[in-house]
Amino acid sequence: MALIVQKYGGSSVANVERIRAVAERVAKFKMLGHQVVVVLSAMSGETNRLIALAKQIQSTPDPRELDVMVSTGEQVTIALLAMALKDLGLKAKSYTGAQVRILTDNAFTKARILSIDESRMRADLDSGHVVVVAGFQGVDEQGNTTTLGRGGSDTTGVALAAALKADECQIYTDVDGVYTTDPRIVPEARRLKTITFEEMLEMASLGSKVLQIRSVEFAGKYKVKLRVLSSFQDEGDGTLITFEEDDNMEQAIISGIAFNRDEAKITVVGVPDHPGIAYQILGPVADANIDVDMIVQNVGHTNTTDFTFTVHRNDFAKAMDIVKVTAASIGAREVTGDDKIAKISIVGVGMRSHVGIARKMFETLSVENINLQMISTSEIKISVVVEDKYMELAVRALHQAFELDKATA
Ligand code: ADP
Ligand code: ASP
Ligand code: MG
């Protein structure tokens, strides 16, 4: 007997038929004698619909109230699934995040999980129930409803698996695993049987929304056995996130390509080039709880330099306002912004032991006449920022250049 946490995304619970199909899959695992905890998303499109509704009242919705509202999507699906399970003759109980007591900090719309009380779930499992938990939501110390950021149900799933020391966390979605890149953009993309935890972390943080980054972080921290599978197929092993690199296997140099259009670029032009400048510019941005991603500071000329960084597009306007104030106070020439950018990244642990990967990436993009606005590298990834209209072309060209459509040994 194993304890399995299964998380189903929005398209897997999109309607009553899909919810029935989930109930049947859960029943199959129960028949095999396993204990099952199910984490659900809202029906696909529902979270977007709720956010749009809020925006009809307030262009920038109050974060506390927005969380009260968007968390309702998951409350609907958990109740429906519990009903469907009971219809199949199983014992089942649904819980909201607060009812479980998934305690988070109070950063509305992007809260972090602090602790999970697993006692109630454990008691239900021991008495033969399927426990159905609303993903994406929690409660803070004051009893306020919080949500975990878009795609946050993945994190609920992995966090519950960690808290319950589950044997496996299965993420069911509309693709049958993690691919070399988003199969919607590159039809030749190939499913990976395994991907290392480190690579998955990079892929997720660089834009592959198949898993929310925080879910991968949780899996790493608590060594949760994590697998991505399709809820639309009965067979298949999906993709297993592994913690060790397989020495026996011929390691692919590049495992995948990630991309995103979620960022915007801000450049402070003509910054006086002296110590403390990066801190002066980015300090107030961090104080406003805005995450900064890529940072480039050019070599100074004639005592001034240019300083460029990227933020999430949602934070672009706010960050521009903050940086303009700073720029004036430090005597910079001007601040420019551009939200028509895309970031494309190649990821692979095999990069560590191979040279010439960057050269091949840059060569491929130059053949396509795509200008690189920013570059950043780490041991296992290279990212470039390009004009967003070239994103798909760049991803396809790189997928082909690195022969990701071909199976490796
Ligand atoms: P869910 O609603 O089940 O959480 P998501 O839409 O959040 O599903 O994530 C699944 C989607 O992630 C896929 O439909 C696919 O378009 C996208 N995706 C992006 N990159 C990848 C990748 N490398 N492998 C598989 N899917 C990817
Ligand atoms: N329903 C939430 C969203 O759309 C959480 C999730 O699906 O993971 O972002
Ligand atoms: Mg998702």
How confident is the model over 11-53, as pLDDT tens digits? 999 999 999 999 999 999 999 999 999 999 999 999 999 999 9
Mutate to test the pocket of ligand 1, among 156, 169, 173, 230 (most ligand atoms within 8 A of CB): 173
Quote the pLDDT of residue 120.
96
* 277 backbone φψ class: left, alpha, beta (φ>0; ψ -120 to 50): alpha
Determine if ligand 2 sits within 6 Å of the CB of residue 35. Answer: no
Q: Whose CA is closest to 196, among 151, 251, 141, 131?
A: 251
Rounded Cα–Cα distance for residues 182 and 244 (Å): 24
* Per-residue confidence band for 119, with pLDDT thresholds at 50, 70 and 90: very high
How distant, in Å, are the alpha carbons of 173, 193, 273, 292, 376 from that of 310? Answer: 30, 33, 20, 6, 12
Q: Which residues share a beta bridge with 169? A: 5, 226
Average pLDDT over residues 54-82: 97
Q: Is the pLDDT of residue 409 over 60?
A: no
Q: Is the pLDDT of residue 373 over 50?
A: yes
Determine if ligand 2 sits within 6 Å of the CB of residue 41. Answer: yes
Rounded Cα–Cα distance for residues 59 and 52 (Å): 9
DSSP letter at 301 equals B
Cα 36 to averaged position of ligand 3 atoms, centre (Å): 20
3-state secondary structure of 242: strand
3-state secondary structure of 262: coil
- Confirm if 135 and 152 have CB atoms less than 8 A apart: yes
Pocket around ligand 1: residues whose beta carbon is below 6 Å from it?
9-12, 41, 151, 173-175, 178-179, 181-182, 184, 208-210, 256
Q: Whose CA is closest to 172, among 342, 24, 271, 61?
A: 24
* Per-residue confidence band for 364, with pLDDT thresholds at 50, 70 and 90: very high
Determine if ligand 2 sits within 6 Å of the CB of residue 151. Answer: yes
Determine if ligand 2 sits within 6 Å of the CB of residue 97. Answer: no
Determine if ligand 2 sits within 6 Å of the CB of residue 135. Answer: yes
**Residue nearest ligand 2's atom 5 by CA:** 151
Rounded Cα–Cα distance for residues 44 and 47 (Å): 7
Rounded Cα–Cα distance for residues 152 and 98 (Å): 15
What's this model's pTM, rounded to 2 decimal places? 0.93
- Radius of gyration of the chain measured on its C-alpha atoms: 23
Q: Is the pLDDT of residue 408 over 80?
A: no
Give the number of C-alpha atoms closer than 13 A to the C-alpha of residue 362, restricted to the C-beta side: 11
Average pLDDT over residues 109-132: 97
Average of per-residue pLDDT values in the chain = 95
* 33 backbone φψ class: left, alpha, beta (φ>0; ψ -120 to 50): left
Determine if ligand 2 sits within 6 Å of the CB of residue 40. Answer: no
Quote the pLDDT of residue 250.
57
- Confirm if 81 and 19 have CB atoms less than 8 A apart: yes
Nearest atom, ligand 2, residue 153 CA: 8
Average pLDDT over residues 184-189: 96
Determine if ligand 2 sits within 6 Å of the CB of residue 267. Answer: no
**Residue nearest ligand 2's atom 4 by CA:** 47
Quote the pLDDT of residue 105.
97
> Which tokens sit at 104?
């988070």
Q: Is the pLDDT of residue 73 over 60?
A: yes
Determine if ligand 2 sits within 6 Å of the CB of residue 350. Answer: no
Nearest atom, ligand 2, residue 41 CA: 7
Ligand 3 (single-atom ion) residues, CB below 5 Å: 9, 151
Cα 152 to averaged position of ligand 1 atoms, centre (Å): 13
* Residue 347 neighbours by CB under 8 Å, 6+ apart: 199, 202, 203, 206, 254, 255, 256, 257, 258, 380, 381
Quote the pLDDT of residue 355.
86
How confident is the model over 222-271, as pLDDT tens digits? 999 999 999 999 999 999 999 976 655 556 789 999 999 999 999 999 99
Ligand nearest to the CA of 210: 1
Determine if ligand 2 sits within 6 Å of the CB of residue 11. Answer: no
- Confirm if 148 and 108 have CB atoms less than 8 A apart: no
How confident is the model over 309-354, as pLDDT tens digits? 999 998 999 999 999 999 999 999 999 999 999 999 999 998 988 8
Quote the pLDDT of residue 249.
56
Determine if ligand 2 sits within 6 Å of the CB of residue 208. Answer: no
Ligand nearest to the CA of 228: 1
The proportion of the chain whose per-residue pLDDT surpasses 70, expressed as a percent, equals 98
Determine if ligand 2 sits within 6 Å of the CB of residue 136. Answer: yes
Q: Write 182-186 long-range contacts (CB < 8 A, 24+).
A: 182/208, 182/259, 182/395, 185/259, 185/392, 185/395, 185/396, 186/257, 186/395, 186/396, 186/399
Q: Whose CA is closest to 92, among 100, 83, 101, 102?
A: 83
**Residue nearest ligand 1's atom 10 by CA:** 210
Rounded Cα–Cα distance for residues 180 and 189 (Å): 5
